[in-house]
């Protein structure tokens, strides 16, 4: 994030950070506060609106999820030590294509189906902006996801269909 701020004078100005960038430990210190997710959601909305808000209507967004280990030990080390991985942090996000600015973020425990976080992810993104298209992989292929994009956002959804042989 510091790299993005350092090369984005307009974004720094919109956020009131013209003169000084945050210290590199700011996020680590922030993570110890209560209500971190509510604060992060507000920050994402503010950054998204400050960076362009309504003019994003002609752009596209992409939605995906990934898992993050809860330990510094690698999966290889854990398997060699006879341990099994039972859960991990699942991070789902929607970003604007081209800039990779986040529109929404949802955290949960994995493993789990990507669609389980899609409704909250789409609802949060709508509070920031309404892109013209949403791209996603087959993990999000469900009629209700297409309906929410089309009816609630007025956006085209480009989601790879789940193959019948899978």
pLDDT at 135: 95
Maximum average pLDDT range among 6-20, 95-109, 122-136, 138-152: 138-152
pTM: 0.71
- Ordered DSSP codes for 49-118: HHHTGGGGGGSEEEEEEEEE-SSSS-HHHHHHTT-----EEEEEEEEETTT--EEEEEEEEES--THHHH
35 in a structural domain: no
Mean pLDDT of 135-141: 92
% pLDDT > 70, the chain: 92
Question: Residue 7: pLDDT band by 50, 70, 90 thresholds?
Answer: confident
154 in a structural domain: yes
31 in a structural domain: no
* Domain around 78: 55-159
In the predicted structure, residue 113 carries a pLDDT above the cut 90? no
C-alpha angle with apex 137: 51 to 97, nearest 5 degrees? 20
DSSP H or E run through 133: strand 133-136
pLDDT at 12: 82
- Report residue 8 as tokens: 């984005």
Mean pLDDT of 50-69: 75
83 in a structural domain: yes
62 in a structural domain: yes
102 in a structural domain: yes
In the predicted structure, residue 61 carries a pLDDT above the cut 80? yes
pLDDT at 87: 75
19 in a structural domain: no
- Report residue 49 as tokens: 């609106």
pLDDT at 51: 64
Q: What is the CATH number of the domain that holds 151?
A: 3.30.420.10
Mean pLDDT of 1-14: 81
In the predicted structure, residue 18 carries a pLDDT above the cut 90? no
pLDDT at 37: 83
pLDDT at 73: 74
- Report residue 31 as tokens: 């993570």
In the predicted structure, residue 74 carries a pLDDT above the cut 80? no
As for how many domains the chain has, the answer is 1
63 in a structural domain: yes
């Amino acid at each position: 994030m510091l790299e993005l701020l350092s090369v984005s004078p307009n974004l720094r100005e919109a956020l009131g950070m013209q003169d000084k960038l945050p210290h590199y430990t700011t996020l680590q210190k922030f993570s110890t506060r209560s209500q971190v997710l509510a604060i992060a959601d507000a920050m994402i909305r503010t950054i998204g609106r400050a960076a362009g808000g309504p003019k994003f209507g002609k752009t596209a967004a992409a939605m995906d999820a990934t898992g993050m280990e809860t330990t510094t030990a690698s999966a290889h080390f854990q398997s060699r030590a006879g341990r099994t991985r039972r859960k991990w942090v699942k991070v789902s996000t929607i970003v604007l294509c081209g800039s990779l600015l986040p529109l929404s973020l949802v955290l949960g425990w994995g493993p789990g189906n990507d669609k389980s976080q899609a409704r909250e992810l789409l609802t949060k993104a709508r509070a920031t902006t309404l892109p013209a298209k949403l791209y996603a992989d087959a993990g999000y292929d469900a009629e209700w996801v297409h309906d929410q994009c089309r009816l609630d956002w007025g956006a085209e959804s480009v989601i790879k269909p789940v193959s019948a042989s899978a």
